[in-house]
Amino acid sequence: MRDHFRMFAAYNGWANNLLYQAAAALTPEELRTDKGAFFGPLLNTLNHIMVADRVWLHRLTGEGMLPTALDQVLYTDFEALRDARIAEDARLAAYVEGLTEEALDESFTFSPIGKTDRITQKRGVTLSHVFNHQTHHRGQCHATLTALGKPSLTLDLIYFLRSEGKAWL
C-alpha cells in the first residue's frame, strides 16, 4: 500500500500544479467570482483544500498549522497560496515517503475541528480520504474554471500515469 500512496502523492502534486497554472491565468476578479461551487469562488475552494490538508497532516504528525474552520481563508493573495500549495504538496509527499507498511495500518486518534469527540482510524484509510478529498475539490475548481469560460483541464490519474507517472505503471 505504501507505493500506492506514494503514487497518489506524486499525482496530487502533478494535478495541483496543472490546476494552479490554470488559475494563475485568471484575473483577481475571476479568482473571486462565485460560480456555485460549495466554497464559492475558486480562491476559496483552493484555500479549503489547503485547510483540509493542514488539518489532516496536523492530526497525523502533530506538526504544522492547525486551521480552526473548514471555510477559513488562509491566503487572499493567489501567489502566496500557490507557494504554500507547493510546500504543502512536498510536505505530504515527504510524510508518505517516511511511512512503513506497518505505520499505514496503525490507528491514531483525533478530535474534529470545534468538537470534543474522539475519533480513531487507521493512517492508510485517512490518506485515502486526503487524496480523494483533493480530487473531489479539484473537480469543483475545474467546474469553476469552465464556468468562467476557461479551457477544460485533463487531471485524471491515468493521464498522470501516461506522462510524468510512467514509473508507476
Residues of the domain holding 79: 2-168
Binding residues for a divalent metal cation: 48, 133, 137
Task: State the average pLDDT for the chain.
Answer: 98
Please give the model's pTM, rounded to 2 decimal places: 0.97
Tell me the CATH number at 144: 1.20.120.450
Structural domains in the chain (count):
1
pLDDT of amino acid 130: 99
pLDDT of amino acid 6: 98
Cα separation, 91 vs 85, in Å, equals 10
Confidence band of 167 (pLDDT split at 50, 70, 90) = very high
Could you tell me which of 108, 65, 70, 104 has the C-alpha nearest to residue 87? Answer: 65
pLDDT in tens, 36-75: 999 999 999 999 999 999 999 999 999 999 999 999 999 9
Confidence band of 12 (pLDDT split at 50, 70, 90) = very high
Confidence band of 76 (pLDDT split at 50, 70, 90) = very high
Coil/strand/helix, residue 49? helix
Binding residues: 48, 133, 137
